[in-house]
Structure 1
């Protein structure tokens, strides 16, 4: 056999003084695909030579499912271990809700158990089969018991129980567990429906007249951060990872799906609640002097810093986003009175959520601190803030994972061209879910003590509407007084993410805001309505960078949410409505002309795609500039790489009569700080 190039190169190297012996790698692998009775397998064949004294070659073969029919994927649960696909059960149970239901999976397995393999109960084939059955159902019950309790009625479980193996004590325990759940379902079915409704207690809204925003100044920043971390940690531990799957989260607003993804909705609600508390405490006391309001800003900056020390990135982001929203951001006099050192810390905290390189800094921090005891800050900071605290779990900003999963769901096909379910997609989704579960494990042993005084204050914060936020901000500083962002601070340009009640990662984008470190986030522009006549329009011939960072889309095995694809990109397009509108994501390829993209955008916004000729497509660039895409141009090559935000404007500048913003009352995502007037709300997907 001819030596490999790597081996030859090593053999020609002069021996080192250490007399190290280099060997050519002898592990050779072949990867092929095989289709067999409704399943496509990825097969890995390895040939590994034995010891130098032995001429024997050992060949090993393992295979894992790439795609298959619904029935075959379910049945593979019982064969995966024997075929070397040891991760299949875990991945399947984490993601199957994307392509089938619990009832359907149980029906297929029950049908198989009624006709077990082997010549008899004691045959080797039957014993291996029984072991696989116990493994599947034990894992399922341990990891996702709610699947069985959500069946509604016990018939399937009563049919399943007698079919389970009876040749071991573990099998007997499994059967007893199934029967207990069936009994619970039977008892639940006997309860009248009205009883469940009577047990629901609706809390009255907070009494705004009793709200004292300045009370927040009386609580130490460390205590506030500890209480917020307590709330966030408890929510994060209860989070059901598969609720984050793009295929499930994207359906949360459909009729009859109001209870879908409840654990993510709870996290969304808390994010919104905290952002609202920051807004209310800073805006409600309109009669405060600028110096007094600056103390409120400094307090929340200190709280954000304490949250950072506790690795509570969710609360940290909510606070930073609220401070960067337009109702607070535009308060020039208050920011001028804010301590410079506090402003410096604020900029550093904001930079964590920069969207540069797909939120690389946030991801790196999660990687570094995910399971560590403390945040990667200097000892002085940790010692000052966490005296007496136990080891800290990491509470991530969930939006990063929702973004990845929604992007993955958008970019990769659910089924192959032959109709088989694309299980490779589920493997990639599981990689993201596994990261969430790892971070959850770091939070399970955290212990917190509730502070009643802060809890009462936090619960007393009234919810500010968009109109109220805008009105209060203008009562504090009239529009004629508030200056543009370029005169307010001396930071670098920023955007801010604040999640909203609208769509997966609705971003509140404030353009021309504070120049703090590049924080591409969700934010909203709350300045008075304008016709944008002052915006600088760029002609399509304006020189632009040729390199474009885009999302790797399609059904490519090398898909990565941080990667880039040469001929596809996901952009966000909003309609030019008087009151603003949501951004919707559009996948643009190198073949898409402007009319095609406009038609797709209109359809996404529930408008008539045949009206495309009446609209023009405009790319929204930094510093308020606009780039009009030629009517017959290729959008992929005409747009610049500096922005993924686009505007769909009626030709002539007139908004179509009867066109109304999409309702945001029934959906739930991370909060948007509401404000009247021109607002730019962008949705990643």
Structure 2
């Protein structure tokens, strides 16, 4: 037993001791509190045991004992995060095995009654919060085995058995109807007919109506969002073969984000015959819509519109922006600032903290504010990319398992803090009521899909390329990759009871991680780079390709200002894939200046669910531009050996064959810093 800390409250004569205890297959963080009253009265002692780490079986069984041990939040946290380290079927198997051998002897004993109450609590919570877990089982055998073992000593227990039995019957019917198992979460219906699209028709809809309809769509999607789909360990596997249906609720949000951004691009670029003054009215319309979305706390649609207006095909339209109303441009600049990646999106986070559960947006500081009829309270629809960033960073920075192989449940507690913020925002949206405007819905569905090439072609037809943007043109290209996150004093160190103050365990970790981080040069979302962007909505807004950074790494001699003496090792996030037939899945790995090749290879193998003990059989290769490769020395320091021109790496078995067209190079030439070409012209990609 290790004592972590002892504290004393002089006013109440209360002592608190935090220790760590290890049992068979589990490690507990134990908090012992002693309350001293009058000298003649005995001291009261309270003790709580929270699981820090454990084996899969012990974590599952702790569900049945967590309340009695003072770990009241364990059930909620486990059910929100367990899919990152086990499966629904495995959890059911372990619990069912335990139910076959219940404690306490006869049914009337106090131990058996306490056990039965715990069983009912666990399964009732599970069914209420995540019924899809049971409905997604391939067949009903597990549930049919479970039902006879459930307690039957109360009406609530009997009702629980009946609910699970109904799901088992539905699974039996589903097995007999294969068509019912198809995934219908993707886009349905024929593609829109471009010949029927009328871009300027959007001018006929009031900006408030458009924003209301967009908020309706976003709210419906956000309420249906399954928070655990945002977990970094699940989101990074979304493109893995056989897991195409994973994180469907996040994909649906991304599709809507891209669809709206495409609508902005298409309406502003499609009518190539317009005069610049006429096209400027379209920009002003979308700026007004963005303002109305802000008033409705619809940050997702707001960012989609801002991103589209900042994309290169629209940003480069010099004459159009010159003819745009200056007041509209000023308001647009203010809206753009909300999504600045400065200090880890500190302004966006601050707004969520202030307005997340408030009835209305805080717009009182704006003059002549007539944007919203405040008789109807609004829920908050956040930009989901901020949460995906936090969860991906957590997944990358914190180990899934301890050195002894135990599952690190403290990591799940930190992830749950982010998921709890999402769930609180969802609760603010559940009672919102909207009506559908059929005319706008028809226009919105008629918008054709523009590819990247088509967007550029239309933009060049409007204004010939080569003319520089004038001084004072407001739109600036924003690269919203995994940003150079630094600590925000305003949003990350506040002390409040609200969940929107971003509780300290998560933010302390992110602050420590990002304080020393240079430009990670990698998208926050693990991606499968085999997918093409030609069939996507504006390529600037799709998640399929990370932006590239041209900032030097430490190996090129560019020390970041935050690197003060004693602040810890330098850090960088890289992406590693396996040299396999289906090897396009990248996993993000945190590399510090202390990490040697064996350490990085071992971490990468574990991330790819391979045996980390096989480190000696693999070599680490950096994939450089123009098909070149850099082999990292077997015992070298990866941080200093890598080139700054790429964050993509490959794990290849020693003696393996290099892919066709690759050009191995030596360490000397790899340090050459690539020349920056066509600065600002590449279409940037957001987190979505």
User: 1:593-649: per-residue Cα shift (whole Å, max 9, x none)?
Assistant: 999999999xx9xxx9776598799xxxxxxxxxxxxxx99896999xxxx985479
In structure 2, C-alpha distance between the alignment counterparts of 1:81 and 1:497, rounded to whole Å: 43
Q: Verify: 1:547 aligned to 2:550, yes or no.
A: no
Q: Which residue of 1 aligns with 2:308?
A: 322
Q: Verify: 1:447 aligned to 2:430, yes or no.
A: no
Q: Which residue of 2 aligns with 1:591?
A: 594
In structure 1, C-alpha distance between the alignment counterparts of 2:371 and 2:401, rounded to whole Å: 51
1:39-118 matched pairs, under 5 angstroms: 39-51=26-38, 54=40, 56-118=42-104
TM-score (norm 2): 0.75
Structure 2: 5+ residue runs without aligned partners? Answer: 1-6, 483-521, 528-538, 543-548, 577-583, 608-617, 628-634, 649-658, 664-677
- Contact 2:556/2:644, CA 8 A, preserved across alignment: no
- Contact 2:624/2:646, CA 8 A, preserved across alignment: no
Determine which of 336, 352, 356 is the counterpart of 1:350: 336
Q: Point out the more displaced range, 231-240 or 470-479.
A: 470-479
In structure 2, C-alpha distance between the alignment counterparts of 1:416 and 1:249, rounded to whole Å: 22
Local SS of the residue matching 1:35: strand
The verdict on how the C-alpha distance between 1:282 and 1:491 changes in structure 2, with shifts beyond 3 A counting, is closer
- Contact 1:598/1:612, CA 8 A, preserved across alignment: no
Structure 1: 5+ residue runs without aligned partners? Answer: 1-5, 8-21, 508-521, 526-531, 550-563, 575-580, 618-631, 650-655, 661-674
Determine which of 94, 99, 119 is the counterpart of 1:133: 119
- Contact 1:571/1:646, CA 8 A, preserved across alignment: no
The CA RMSD measured in Å over matched residues stands at: 4.3
The verdict on how the C-alpha distance between 1:614 and 1:103 changes in structure 2, with shifts beyond 3 A counting, is closer
The verdict on how the C-alpha distance between 1:471 and 1:63 changes in structure 2, with shifts beyond 3 A counting, is same
TM-score (norm 1): 0.75
- Contact 2:265/2:308, CA 8 A, preserved across alignment: yes
Q: Which residue of 2 aligns with 1:378?
A: 364
In structure 1, C-alpha distance between the alignment counterparts of 2:12 and 2:465, rounded to whole Å: 71
The verdict on how the C-alpha distance between 1:28 and 1:680 changes in structure 2, with shifts beyond 3 A counting, is farther
- Contact 1:595/1:613, CA 8 A, preserved across alignment: no
Q: Which residue of 2 aligns with 1:497?
A: 480
1:382-421 matched pairs, under 5 angstroms: 384-387=370-373, 390-421=376-407
In structure 1, C-alpha distance between the alignment counterparts of 2:240 and 2:313, rounded to whole Å: 32
Distance apart, 1:185 and its partner CA: 1.2
Local SS of the residue matching 2:341: coil
User: 1:183-205: per-residue Cα shift (whole Å, max 9, x none)?
Assistant: 11112222244895999994111
In structure 2, C-alpha distance between the alignment counterparts of 1:112 and 1:423, rounded to whole Å: 21
The verdict on how the C-alpha distance between 1:128 and 1:524 changes in structure 2, with shifts beyond 3 A counting, is closer
Q: Which residue of 1 aligns with 2:497?
A: none
The verdict on how the C-alpha distance between 1:195 and 1:168 changes in structure 2, with shifts beyond 3 A counting, is closer
Local SS of the residue matching 1:385: coil
Count of residues paired in the alignment = 579
1:174-573 matched pairs, under 5 angstroms: 174-193=160-179, 202-378=188-364, 384-387=370-373, 390-481=376-467, 483-484=468-469, 487-489=470-472, 495-497=478-480, 505=525, 546-548=561-563, 566-571=568-573
- Contact 2:144/2:165, CA 8 A, preserved across alignment: yes
Q: Which residue of 2 aligns with 1:667?
A: none
Distance apart, 1:684 and its partner CA: 7.5
Distance apart, 1:468 and its partner CA: 0.2
Q: Verify: 1:148 aligned to 2:112, yes or no.
A: no
In structure 2, C-alpha distance between the alignment counterparts of 1:537 and 1:105, rounded to whole Å: 47
- Contact 2:394/2:415, CA 8 A, preserved across alignment: yes
- Contact 1:42/1:63, CA 8 A, preserved across alignment: yes
The verdict on how the C-alpha distance between 1:524 and 1:193 changes in structure 2, with shifts beyond 3 A counting, is closer
In structure 2, C-alpha distance between the alignment counterparts of 1:505 and 1:302, rounded to whole Å: 31
Distance apart, 1:537 and its partner CA: 10
In structure 2, C-alpha distance between the alignment counterparts of 1:164 and 1:234, rounded to whole Å: 36
User: 1:328-370: per-residue Cα shift (whole Å, max 9, x none)?
Assistant: 1011111111111111111111111111111111111101101
The verdict on how the C-alpha distance between 1:181 and 1:583 changes in structure 2, with shifts beyond 3 A counting, is closer
Distance apart, 1:296 and its partner CA: 0.7
